[in-house]
Every structure is written in structure tokens, then in C-alpha cells.
Amino acid sequence: MNTKQLEYFLITVQKGSIAAAARELDIAQPAISQQLANLEREMSAALLERSFRGVTLTQAGQIFVNHAQTITKTINDAKIELQQLISNRSGTVRVGMLPSIGNVLSMPLIAEINRFHPHIKLEISTGPSYAVKEWLKTNQLDIALTYEQEIDQNFMTTYPLIEEYMYLVVGSNDSAANYQQLLNRDTVNFWELSQFELLTPGLKDALGQLINTYELTTGVALKHNKAYSGQLMTGLRQVIQGEGLMILPSSAMYHLEESKVVKTLKIEQPEMTRLVLATTNKSMRISDASIQMLNVIKTVTASEQSLAHWRGRLAMASATPANSLSTLSAAAI
């Protein structure tokens, strides 16, 4: 058994057919079939049931797929631990992230790479959470920075970064009733959010899913009637113009706080948080350049947290995503 066989096996399972796996890997279909046959011969068991519709896991395959994913993750983890022994490895690393994460990480990440890792070429793509997830799944990215709501353990290896605090964001407009009402406050209880017209994304987006989860768990229904483009920068312009309020992490708007065009209030009782993670695709071997990039991302995350640009609790010691809602209850409000 070798890593190539594991890779071919996992991608075949993920894609649902040997033909689709061959297209994904850009290699001949017989080559994959031969490697899978060798793997099954070594395991002394049929792992895949083949038909004209594609492949499905046999009972033995269902057992083996978990071990294959674990072995692949262990190999990747070992490479990360040995990263200190690797130097001057060049390559392109494709990193995808949401606009809010990009707002706080993109510039310092680029600066860190240019200064200390000029041999690595960084390509950054930004988009909504569901798009970033799909880019990683289809191997258009090497690393995706996303939220716990978008994690799929079937194909993602996760590296927790920070559990960020969520804030109510209001435009600093002296003539606006909302601003005057909240002017002398630094926190707001979750139930109080029901008093305001909010600009919120739909349930397709990770933020929309998070807000919906808190509504369901607390029993507090929020107002989502305001028209919202789904674009972070446009939404913040609407907030500044007094067209509504938003629920956002500090990463999305710390720069506007510094220029005093918005005021933010930390959401409490219950505290509203969400976990940010770096993720890679389990089925793909992780490159040396990507290993270095993961370490740089961790370094920059810690730096931005220390500067209070990205407010929250660092989560890098955690092995798996924490459930930030585990202690939520209606009694907390």
C-alpha cells in the first residue's frame, strides 16, 4: 500500500466513479483501476462495488475509507511537524478566504510572505463561504480559510485558528436614533438585537447559518427585512449610511472602527462567537510550500489577534472544531 493508492482510492470514492477520478487526476483510467486492484489485493478484500453507474463502497470499503483518511491526515500532520527541517522550498500556494477574513489577513499575510518567504508565490481568492468550500473540494485551492458552519469532515482536514467574537455594528451618525440609543454602550444582549432592522445574508452563507442557529437556540426572532446585497463592503456602506445594522466579527470592520465611522457592541448573554479554521483537502497530498503557508497563517492570525484587529480566543491548540454553541440555552438570555 502506498500514498498514491490511497489518493486514487479517496478521490474515486469522492467523485463516485473511476472515470471521474481519472478526469480529476488527469491520468488514464486504466492506471487508476490497476492501482485500486493492487490495493484490494493487498487488503484481501473488495473495497469498491463497480457498476455502470459508478462505484460504491462495500462493507469492507466503508471500514477502510476511515483508515485511509486517517493515514492521509497523519502523513500531512507529520510533514507539518517536520516543517522546521524544510527550508527554501518554492511553490505556488492557492489560499481562499471569505471577505471578512481577507480584510484582516490578506495584507499582513502578503507582507509576511514577501519578507520571510519570497520563494513562495501566494495566490488569494475571496468569495462567499459556500464558494470557498466548493473551490477546496474541487482542488482549486490548496488552503481554505472558513467557518465551522462550512466544515465537511468527509473531505476536509481542519486546523482551528481563532474563535472570534461577534459584534453589532451601527453607523456613527449623530442624527440616527439607533446610534443615539447605543452611543454609551460597549455590549448588547442577544435578545436586544430583535429591536433593530438588520442586514443579514441568507442561509446559504455561513454567517446566515450562524445567526439562524442562535435564533433557534435562544428563541429570539430577529428582523431580516432590510434589502442586503450579500456583499460585505456594500453592507458596511449601508450601515454607515444608517440603512440598517449588521452582525459581524471585528475582522470585517476593525478598520472602520479606527476611523470612527462605525460603532460596535460585543454581543453577550449569550456570547456570540464562531470558529475560524484553515482547511485542506484530505484526498490531496499537502505540499511543502502549503505547510509553510499554514504556519504563516497561524503566525499572522496570532499577530492580528494581539493587535485587537481580530478579537477572540486563539484556538490553535485545539485538534478539532469546537462547538461554540454547546453551552447556549434559552435560560442564558
Q: Could you tell me which of 270, 254, 101 has the C-alpha nearest to residue 193?
A: 270
- Assigned C-alpha cell, 46: 473488495
What is the residue-wise DSSP string for 177-235? HHHHHHTT-SEEEGGGGGGSBB----TTSHHHHHHHHHHHHHTPPPB--S---S-HHHH
262-268 and 187-189 strand pairing: parallel
Average pLDDT over residues 146-163: 94
Average pLDDT over residues 151-170: 95
Q: What's the pLDDT score for residue 176?
A: 78
Q: Compute the distance between CA of residue 233 and CA of residue 103 in angstroms, rounded to an integer.
A: 10
pLDDT tens profile 195-214: 999 999 989 888 999 999 99
- In order of 59, 65, 244, 283, the CA distances from 71 in angstroms are 19, 10, 49, 11
Helices and strands (H and E) in the chain: how many: 11, 11
156-171 and 120-126 strand pairing: unpaired
Q: Compute the distance between CA of residue 105 and CA of residue 117 in angstroms, rounded to an integer.
A: 16
As a whole-number percent, the residues of the chain with pLDDT over 90 amount to: 70
pTM: 0.70
Q: What's the pLDDT score for residue 288?
A: 85
Q: Say which amino acid occupies 319.
A: A
- In this model, does residue 3 exceed pLDDT 90? no
Contact call for residues 246 and 236 (beta carbons, < 8 A)? yes
Give the angle 260-222-182 at the CA atoms, nearest 5°: 30
Average pLDDT over residues 250-278: 94
As a whole-number percent, the residues of the chain with pLDDT over 70 amount to: 93
Query: What is the set of domains in the chain, with CATH numbers?
Result: 3-81 (1.10.10.10), 89-160+276-332 (3.40.190.10), 164-273 (3.40.190.290)
Q: What's the pLDDT score for residue 77?
A: 84
Task: Find all residues with CB under 8 Å of 256, minimum gap 6, and list them.
Answer: 236, 240, 262
Q: Could you tell me which of 233, 206, 191, 84 has the C-alpha nearest to residue 149?
A: 206
Return the higher-pLDDT residue of 311 and 287. 311
pLDDT tens profile 16-48: 999 998 998 889 999 999 999 999 999 999 999
Q: What's the pLDDT score for residue 86?
A: 55
Most confident of 71-80, 260-269, 311-320: 260-269
Q: What is the mean pLDDT of the chain?
A: 88
